[in-house]
Structure 1
Amino acid sequence: MTIHPKIAEFLKSLPEPDGSPLDPVAMRAGENAQVPPVADRLPIHDVREATAATSSGDVPVRIYTPAEAESYGVLVYFHGGAFFSGSLETHDHIARSLAKETGLEVVAVDFRLAPEHEFPAGLEDCYRVVRWVAENSGELKWDGRTLAIAGDSSGGNFVAAVVAKARDDGFDRITHQILYYPSLDLDFDVDRYPSLRENAEGYGLETGILEPFNAFYFESGADRSDPLVSPIKREDLSGLPTALIVTAEHDPLRDEGELYGKRLQEAGVNATVSRYDGANHGFVQHFSWIPEFQRVFTETAEFLRRS
């Protein structure tokens, strides 16, 4: 189907790129300037800042508690932003919606960004926070059962890399992986996936900008042939947690997400792939207020309950 009319209207309002070099500091500032004030955000029982004291150092986190309870399942969330942008603030509304719909306590990770921090700093922060949750069940009131991890775009990349690291390390407490339009193959050969050509232009994220956007990650030392950088290159996907992979019809990254889901299924993992027609890359962050796309949070909650 065609792109949703509300998204199409927004895309028409965007200025044409002027070809100037990408400035990560300016882009981060621009994103943060668009964040609504706290008073205008989805109300949640409690939101607090905390520090995860991990073996690789202190990592700032933000904890969203949906209601008063004796214990909670926990969902650890990694924001998107091509590894160099995004923040707890720009993705605060996603964490709030996840907490409200799932009933889980959400721990959002303020991981280190490229290019200022060398690979694998951000990935290591995410992995260590997941382990910190399991090791500090009393402080977080974790119920010892559900420990899900979720992320959008590059955050979805971190999800896939974290579950792989956890399996290799023998850490088996992660119960679910949730990936929203993940970036899983950083080898941007336009002939690798049909969606890189089908959705190359006109839908927000364009195929031609993938290399420049991810260049900051490569500059920090990430090797696109490394399965921890391009998780779809991992040969053995068996033994990984139950998965939900959400893709968008009009996204250059659509096909790699769907291939990851298929490969998980072939490896014996319980994996669900859910494509949102009429949506583009980033719709969970930017367009989840549209009724047709708001159900992504309900779908996430149903996935967690049934599995």
Structure 2
Amino acid sequence: MGKLKLMAAAMLTSLPGPLVAAWYTGRRRVVDGRVIDAKAQALGELFNLVRVPGVVPTIEESRASLRLMAEKFDLPCPPSVTKRDITLPGAEGPRPARIYDRRPEARDRAALLFIHGGGWVQGDLETHDGLCGQIAEEADIRVIALDYRLAPEHPFPAGPDDVLAAYRALRADPGLLGLDAERLAVGGDSAGGNLTAVLMHDIAEAGLAMPRAQLLIYPGVDATLSSRSMETLRDAYVLPPARIDWYLHQYLPDGTDRGDPRVSPLRSPHLAAQPAACVIVAGHDPLWDDGLAQAEALRDAGVPVEVLRYPGQIHVFVSARRVIPQGFDAISRASAWLKAALG
């Protein structure tokens, strides 16, 4: 019976939106007036069958789960985009990276340094391959994805140190990868959004030149987990607050101050120095208020901000574009924003 239930749930995610909406008539989740997207609910319920709420995974199981999700639910890299694996400097040695570009031979390219999500403990170049490819194609820029060190093998601050080292290298010698240093953006999703926002703080602390733009896709920016959405979405699909806390325990050494701006970049004293931002938020994601708070703080500091709100969506929806059309739409809108911001 369990296998049949799993097969039925998987089949439901593949049906057209109107049919899924009809199936959930009168049964859609609502949080603070935000009605969940029917396709998002179908995927969320499938997740709950595969990954039982309240059951703590091993690190290996967690990593395998994200790889499987990307394989089954995300779109592949567009065939028009050329890929090339390289290395970039990390804080303690070279790190794997990948270049995406529809015009690989062009020089002086606008570029995005992309930092993948995965709770600081999972994710790699493969799990975000299709997403990076869509941005490269639609924004017509060179995307450089970084595979930074992961916890718990390499706890904080290994990740942010690797990101800073890679950024320094790109700024110091942009011609090596055919980049225009004045048209460089940095972005990432979830934990990658956190590391992007931390990088802005680190750049200011180090007195380095800021990038032209930053893309924050449902970023985690307040590790105290004290926002309203953390409470109202304590039973959220995919990423309930208890799982976020588990990730933080893998990532942060004992005694780490969760209010440190390198952990909670919402508290950075350098917000006014930061570049224009595009922030994507999902209304059935506990990080909804994190993204909105970061956007508001940046605006209050005088930074131009565009917020792309998806009130019916769940965490990871931009990495489930095969079954959630709004994920594709969100990355298309973010790509258009990057294209305009980078010129």
Give TM-score scaled by structure 1 length.
0.91
**Amino acid across the alignment from 1:187:** T
1:10 correspondence with 2:43: yes
1:66 correspondence with 2:99: no
Distance 1:9 1:18 in 2: 16
- What per-residue deviation string (whole Å, max 9, x for no partner) do you get for residues 43-82 of structure 1? 2432111111356421211111222423311100001111
Q: CA distance change for structure 1 residues 29 and 12 in 2, over 3 Å: closer, same or farther? A: closer
1:136 correspondence with 2:176: no
Partner SS state of residue 257, structure 1: helix
TM-fit CA distance, 1:20: 4.3
137, 145, 151: which one aligns with 2:188: 151
Q: CA distance change for structure 1 residues 86 and 274 in 2, over 3 Å: closer, same or farther? A: same
CA contact (8 A) 1:115 1:220 kept: no
CA contact (8 A) 2:122 2:150 kept: yes
**Amino acid across the alignment from 1:108:** A
Q: Mark the runs of 5 or more structure 1 residues left unpaired by the alignment.
A: none
Distance 2:153 2:254 in 1: 7
Query: Comparing 27-36 with 117-126, which one deviates more in the overlay?
Result: 27-36
**Whose Rg is larger?**
2
Q: CA distance change for structure 1 residues 231 and 177 in 2, over 3 Å: closer, same or farther? A: same
Distance 1:20 1:204 in 2: 13
10, 19, 22: which one aligns with 2:57: 22
Q: Please list, as runs of the form range in 1=range in 2, the aligned pairs for 1:1-307 lying within 5 A after superposition.
A: 1-13=34-46, 14-15=48-49, 17=52, 19-36=54-71, 41-53=77-89, 56-67=92-103, 68-188=105-225, 192-219=226-253, 222-287=256-321, 290-307=324-341
Q: Mark the runs of 5 or more structure 2 residues left unpaired by the alignment.
A: 1-33
Query: Comparing 212-221 with 163-172, which one deviates more in the overlay?
Result: 212-221
TM-fit CA distance, 1:19: 4.4
- Across the aligned residues of Structure 1 and Structure 2, the Cα RMSD in angstroms comes to 2.3
**Amino acid across the alignment from 1:3:** I
CA contact (8 A) 1:116 1:220 kept: no
TM-fit CA distance, 1:290: 3.0
Q: CA distance change for structure 1 residues 203 and 73 in 2, over 3 Å: closer, same or farther? A: same
CA contact (8 A) 1:44 1:64 kept: no
CA contact (8 A) 2:317 2:324 kept: no
CA contact (8 A) 1:11 1:204 kept: yes
Partner SS state of residue 178, structure 1: strand
Partner SS state of residue 278, structure 2: strand
Distance 2:190 2:55 in 1: 24
Query: Comparing 28-37 with 265-274, which one deviates more in the overlay?
Result: 28-37
**Amino acid across the alignment from 1:200:** R
CA contact (8 A) 2:83 2:101 kept: yes
- Give the length in aligned residue pairs: 304
**Amino acid across the alignment from 2:228:** P
**Amino acid across the alignment from 2:206:** D
Seq. identity, %: 32
CA contact (8 A) 1:118 1:220 kept: no
TM-fit CA distance, 1:236: 3.8
